[in-house]
């Protein structure tokens, strides 16, 4: 079975840089597995890699959707699988880089997202309940019956939270259970999965805060202004991403700029906690924990080691 090399982990752990270093060692190409980097015009707030950061390595699944589009995990899995198969057919290595667990699972497993039933009337009733409770309370409700799926989802991810409860309401089984049944089918790809983290939790949080604040310095407010001026609704799925929602609230006068910055930092740290919760439930993951923020030498050494492990042979340089 063809194998993918997957680099995942919580936000701000160096996935992009390590993925590029590995792709260069393994004659590979990167497939992004980030649910917000798929959107065109959303660059600063998603930490989308720049041409300089790509270092000449081809990247796939970036800028493939309009922000107004209701993009699904199933659509991602189909498109990303086509990218992986093309890369493999050309004798190269697919390096999957990103922190969106649902996307990574869908790509590797070939999950049949349509397997569980759906009912429009039930979904509308659940959507009303979500609106009444609020995202955080609704996610806590889901966590009482399906903690694994709740850990994967942001409180603002209304579509997927509602879908998870819809499946439970209609079948009495969680969406996690349905996905496990799908996993009984052989996966589409094999995978060698590496998760990045920091040895000390505070080091991760400090890096998250620095990156969040740097996004504002890099023009996040102006990016959101441009999206809204182009007619994008502040209520669409893409605008619920961390950073975009808070800036939209600032622009509408709901909060001060420094409050928006602080909220983005807190939300990013909470998201990292959820990502780690999901990753720790996976027994097949190889962990790489940085002692300090990795520089070029540390990234190169990690890339050398991981490339050897993935390929099953030593590299001479």
Element (H, E) at 94: strand 93-97
Contact 96, 31 (CB under 8 A): yes
- Which residues make up the CATH 3.40.50.300 domain(s) of the chain? 3-110+187-311
Q: How far apart are CA 11 and CA 279, in angstroms?
A: 13
Question: Which ranges of the chain have pLDDT less than 50?
Answer: 114, 316-317
Nearest to 55 by CA among 73, 28, 91: 28
Give me the sheet containing 28-32, strands edge to edge: 59-60, 28-32, 93-97, 3-8, 190-198, 285-290
Domain with CATH 1.10.20.140 in the chain: 120-182
Calculate the CA dihedral of residues 284, 290, 296, 302 and round it to 10 degrees.
-30
According to the model, what pLDDT value does residue 111 have?
Answer: 58
Q: Decide which of 3.20.20.70, 3.10.20.740, 3.40.50.300, 3.40.640.10 is the CATH code for 3-110+187-311.
A: 3.40.50.300
Distance CA 225, CA 208 (A): 23
Burial state string for 270-295 with b = 16 or more CB within 10 A and e = fewer than 16: ebbebbbebbeeeeebeebebeeebe
On whether the CB atoms of residues 56 and 32 are closer than 8 A, the answer is no
| Cα 98 from Cα 104, distance rounded (Å) | 8
- Kindly report the CATH number that applies to the domain delimited by 120-182: 1.10.20.140
Closest CA to 176 of 200, 147, 198: 147
Residue 120, pLDDT score: 87
The per-residue pLDDT for range 216-260, each reduced to its tens digit, is: 999 999 999 999 999 999 999 899 999 999 999 999 999 999 999
The pLDDT of residue 317: 38
- What is the distance between the alpha carbons of residues 46 and 271, in angstroms, rounded to a whole number? 13
35-67 confidence digits (pLDDT tens): 999 999 999 999 999 999 999 999 999 999 999
Check residue 276 and give its pLDDT.
93
């Amino acid at each position: 079975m063809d194998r993918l090399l997957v680099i995942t982990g919580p936000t701000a752990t160096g996935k992009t840089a390590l993925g590029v270093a590995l792709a260069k060692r393994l004659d590979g190409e990167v497939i992004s597995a980030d649910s917000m980097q798929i959107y065109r015009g959303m660059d600063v707030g998603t930490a989308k890699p720049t041409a300089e950061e790509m270092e000449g390595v081809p990247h796939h699944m970036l800028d493939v959707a309009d922000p107004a589009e209701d993009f699904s995990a199933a659509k991602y899995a189909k498109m990303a699988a086509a990218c992986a198969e093309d890369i493999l057919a050309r004798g190269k290595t697919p390096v999957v880089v990103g922190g969106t667990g649902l996307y990574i699972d869908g790509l590797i497993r070939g999950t049949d997202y349509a397997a569980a039933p759906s009912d429009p009337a039930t979904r509308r009733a659940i959507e009303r309940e979500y609106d009444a409770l609020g995202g955080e309370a609704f996610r806590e409700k889901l966590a009482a019956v399906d903690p694994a799926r709740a850990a994967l989802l942001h409180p603002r991810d209304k579509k997927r939270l509602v879908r998870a409860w819809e499946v439970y309401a209609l079948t009495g089984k969680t969406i996690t259970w349905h996905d496990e049944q799908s996993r009984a089918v052989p996966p589409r790809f094999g995978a060698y999965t590496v998760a990045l983290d920091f040895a000390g939790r505070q080091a991760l949080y400090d890096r998250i805060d620095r990156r969040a604040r740097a996004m504002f310095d890099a023009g996040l407010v102006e990016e959101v202004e441009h999206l809204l001026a182009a007619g994008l609704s502040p209520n669409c799925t893409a605008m619920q991403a961390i950073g975009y929602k808070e800036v939209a609230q600032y622009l509408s006068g709901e909060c001060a700029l420094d409050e928006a910055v602080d909220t983005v930092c807190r939300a990013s740290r909470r998201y990292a906690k959820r990502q780690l919760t999901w990753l720790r439930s996976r027994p097949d993951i190889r962990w790489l924990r940085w002692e300090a923020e990795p520089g070029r030498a540390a990234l190169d050494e990690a890339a050398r080691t991981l490339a050897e492990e993935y390929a099953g042979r030593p590299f001479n340089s």
